[in-house]
Structure 1
């Protein structure tokens, strides 16, 4: 029954993480230790991503410029505008930082593992999905903060210290992983389960630390049932618009069905793996958790939706 409700096992992990942070948030003298642990986990996450990403597949996949260009434009263009529109529509209904979280959601890159897995289950172009996810995430570490700064106005100003943290915590570990790929990639591929566990543990730690700070800052005192319901309804609307728009764009561009499926999941999904570290880098600890609420809800909902969509697409294709 739980497998039907939560087709991706990471969904209950994220739910448990936010619940644990709400009941037992890290505070006091433990905060610097938790933040240091979170930073180390993020560095490991991006290092492993660098080790896994095969350079030759990227070079091969870039040749499908129509699909990759559409995925890039949709992920960072259309989705950013949807996030900006959601922020504007909700500004009078939600706390400012929570509404800003919808813009933050819109500028994030796509997921890696879940978008590729959903595309594979739905009969999409798996190789192109791997490349799209890699390109979107690699470029997203640079594009997402700049896009957020451009669209968020004064709230999105990036300090020199924040820029250095992005380079040191996200970019440098990734490129170090690329350098070490020759020696470590066979081991990582041979131990996929352990690597995935390390990935998801790193994300859970980052979410726990960020959300703990929000809980200590009084997030549950600031939000009532009405506002939580508004967030849920707004995320549902965004899911419908983002997935529907990506599928429609694939039809307008007359992509092959397999490429259209790849665009659907690569364009409409958003990554908590980048969102949590980026929020911890861009925002003060007390506000990062509030900004993360929309992407947390969206991420869990998109995993469930994608797991239900994939077999539907297979049945529609008559496979």
Structure 2
């Protein structure tokens, strides 16, 4: 893979940033505000309904006998990462901008990605079946664990809205379970129309971003976050990713996993899901706080894609050692 191919931006992330720009220039005000709020709630429900309809129970079940690998991935995602992000958020204000500390903690509580974790594992010639199971389980458990972790770590600071618990049930769990229950009947239709539904899914997330940042802009987000804050945040995200990558790989090696398993652990345990994080922020935070909460996630997402693409290519070039027991 060429240097340009590794460093080129995620074009969907570019669209998300364009929604931030649009909200900054023309936020939803007045009568448009409530309309966008309701549209956002419907969009979030749709996103999680599609997640439930797409997520194969067979993919989660496959490879579950490899329980040690899955426990390592889940521990890295929902224990190690929150601890690292809490430590970064607690740094002095001249290192970690106070306005963005809550977003950094929110980043640490999110589940792993599914598509990119699996894709990078494929490129790196890792244990793909284990990556599918681990990433799927991470997202499935994240629907419950992420709100619980965010509530435990941020509720005392008033970062979550009072109606968050009801919103979690109605906008996340109910649509997701509905998608899972209907998967038996709509699964083939979902598969046939995957491209169209993917556009609807992504379009819903763009709407959530626009609405969240509209609220943040009206609340004066850009008067509270400077260009220097964004530069510091970029550096902190890079440090967080490096620490997570190093820790997951060191733990996988110390526990005696072979190279394909190490690769699955590395990619599934060190990454955070933009697709899950955006709608969750729309549910867990009031709009004024949701925009700030999403900034660390958007920067981290692009950094993880570039770094993991380079790492996957490096693994792909290793000699073929058969079962690769070391």
Same fold, judged at TM 0.5 (above): yes
Matched, 1:226 2:246: no
Write the deviation string for residues 122-155 of structure 1: whole angstroms up to 9, x where unpaired: 2122222222122111111111122222233612
Alpha-carbon shift at residue 39 of structure 1 (Å): 1.6
Which among 184, 187, 198 is matched to residue 186 of structure 2?
184
Task: Identify unmatched segments of 5+ residues in structure 1.
Answer: none
RMSD (Å), alpha carbons: 2.1
Look up the match of 1:291: 293
Asked if the contact 1:6–1:12 (Cα under 8 Å) also holds between the matched residues in 2, the reply is no
Q: 1:44 to 1:318 in 2, by over 3 A?
A: same
Task: Identify unmatched segments of 5+ residues in structure 2.
Answer: 322-326
Q: Normalising by structure 2, what TM-score? A: 0.90
Structure 1 Cα separation of the partners of residues 181 and 140 of structure 2: 15
Partner SS, residue 265 of structure 1 = helix
Matched, 1:280 2:286: no
Which among 31, 34, 38 is matched to residue 33 of structure 2?
31
Structure 2 Cα separation of the partners of residues 51 and 153 of structure 1: 31
Alpha-carbon shift at residue 156 of structure 1 (Å): 5.8
Matched, 1:196 2:194: no
Q: 1:68 to 1:318 in 2, by over 3 A?
A: same
* More helix, by proportion: 1
Asked if the contact 2:215–2:291 (Cα under 8 Å) also holds between the matched residues in 1, the reply is yes
Structure 1 Cα separation of the partners of residues 36 and 59 of structure 2: 37
Partner SS, residue 70 of structure 1 = helix
Asked if the contact 1:58–1:134 (Cα under 8 Å) also holds between the matched residues in 2, the reply is yes
Q: Normalising by structure 1, what TM-score? A: 0.92
Correspondences of 1:27-176 after superposition (within 5 Å): 27-91=29-93, 93-152=95-154, 154-155=156-157, 161-176=163-178
Partner SS, residue 65 of structure 2 = coil
Q: 1:156 to 1:189 in 2, by over 3 A?
A: farther
Alpha-carbon shift at residue 91 of structure 1 (Å): 4.1
Look up the match of 2:324: none
Structure 2 Cα separation of the partners of residues 211 and 2 of structure 1: 31
